């Protein structure tokens, strides 16, 4: 069976990606990162999702990006925006996060002799992060095949981002078709310990709008309306 490392945050997008990779016949090895984010509820969600889809392994790496800060998700002195009025790249962008995560996935993929890495990056209904764009993912794939023994020896690795051109509504429909229970996922930037969503941050707004556009009941437990 072909092997893949799947980056699994515990959110809506990554759960859908894991479901799609499983459906497409990959032996999935899920990787989550405890990077010093504001809450751990998404890591608990990742464990639930990994168990439902029967991944071969689920590894959680502790890598504290709070030592750098620079993001509302890793620096408690920076408030998470809740007014929906952000212009440009928002303060919830974590510097180089996808590059760090993909590099960790790449290292594990080499050990596993896996030819694929799956990531839930999206360049349509998203917050404007530069490391979610198709050209970034293509560049990382090219680098990965230059920088690894597997690539040099002709065992090329492919970065799969099946959601990159989808709207959030399309992602939700694809996830449902692939068997995702979205009530198990957590997308909120500042969820409480039980996974309750704030209802006001960009992640909550995009998620809520996606369910509305898909005409699917939103199973999210919002702590407030926005």
Tens digit of each residue's pLDDT (9 = 90 or more) over 157-209: 999 999 999 999 999 999 999 999 999 999 999 999 999 999 999 999 999 99
The residue-averaged pLDDT of 44-64 equals 97
The model's confidence at residue 88, banded by pLDDT at 50, 70 and 90, is confident
The residue-averaged pLDDT of 66-87 equals 89
Cβ contact 158:61 at 8 Å = no
Query: CA-based angle 167:173:178, to the nearest 5?
Result: 125
3-state secondary structure of 28: strand
Least confident of 37-51, 125-139, 155-169, 195-209: 125-139
Q: What confidence score (pLDDT) does residue 36 get?
A: 94
How many CB atoms within 10 Å of residue 147? 13
Looking at domain 3-187, its CATH architecture is: 3-Layer(aba) Sandwich (3.40)
Range list of H helices, 26-167: 41-52, 97-112, 134-147, 149-152
What are the domain boundaries of the chain?
3-187
Beta-carbon contacts of 77 under 8 Å, excluding residues fewer than 6 positions away, are 69
- Predicted confidence (pLDDT) at residue 83 exceeds the cutoff of 90: no
The residue-averaged pLDDT of 26-44 equals 95
Q: State the average pLDDT for the chain.
A: 95
Q: What confidence score (pLDDT) does residue 87 get?
A: 72
């Amino acid at each position: 069976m072909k092997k893949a490392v799947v980056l699994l945050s515990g959110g809506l997008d990554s759960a859908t990606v894991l479901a799609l990779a499983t459906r497409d016949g990959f032996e999935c090895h899920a990787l989550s990162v405890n990077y010093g984010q504001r809450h751990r509820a998404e890591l608990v969600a990742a464990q639930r999702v990994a168990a439902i889809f029967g991944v071969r392994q689920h590894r959680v790496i502790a890598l504290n990006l709070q030592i750098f800060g620079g993001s509302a998700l890793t620096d408690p002195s920076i408030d998470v925006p809740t007014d929906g009025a952000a212009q440009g790249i928002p303060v919830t962008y974590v510097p180089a996060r996808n590059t760090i995560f993909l590099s960790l996935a790449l290292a594990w993929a080499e050990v596993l002799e896996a030819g694929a890495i799956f990531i839930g990056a999206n360049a349509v209904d998203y917050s404007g992060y530069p490391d979610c764009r198709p050209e970034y993912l293509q560049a990382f794939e090219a680098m990965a095949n230059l920088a690894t023994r597997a690539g040099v020896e002709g065992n090329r690795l492919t970065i799969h981002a099946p959601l990159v051109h989808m709207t959030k509504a399309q992602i939700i429909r694809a996830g449902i078709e692939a068997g995702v229970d979205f009530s198990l996922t957590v997308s909120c930037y500042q969820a409480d310990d039980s996974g309750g969503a704030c209802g006001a941050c960009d992640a909550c707004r995009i998620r809520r709008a996606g369910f509305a556009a898909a005409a699917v009941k939103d199973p999210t437990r919002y702590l407030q309306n926005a």
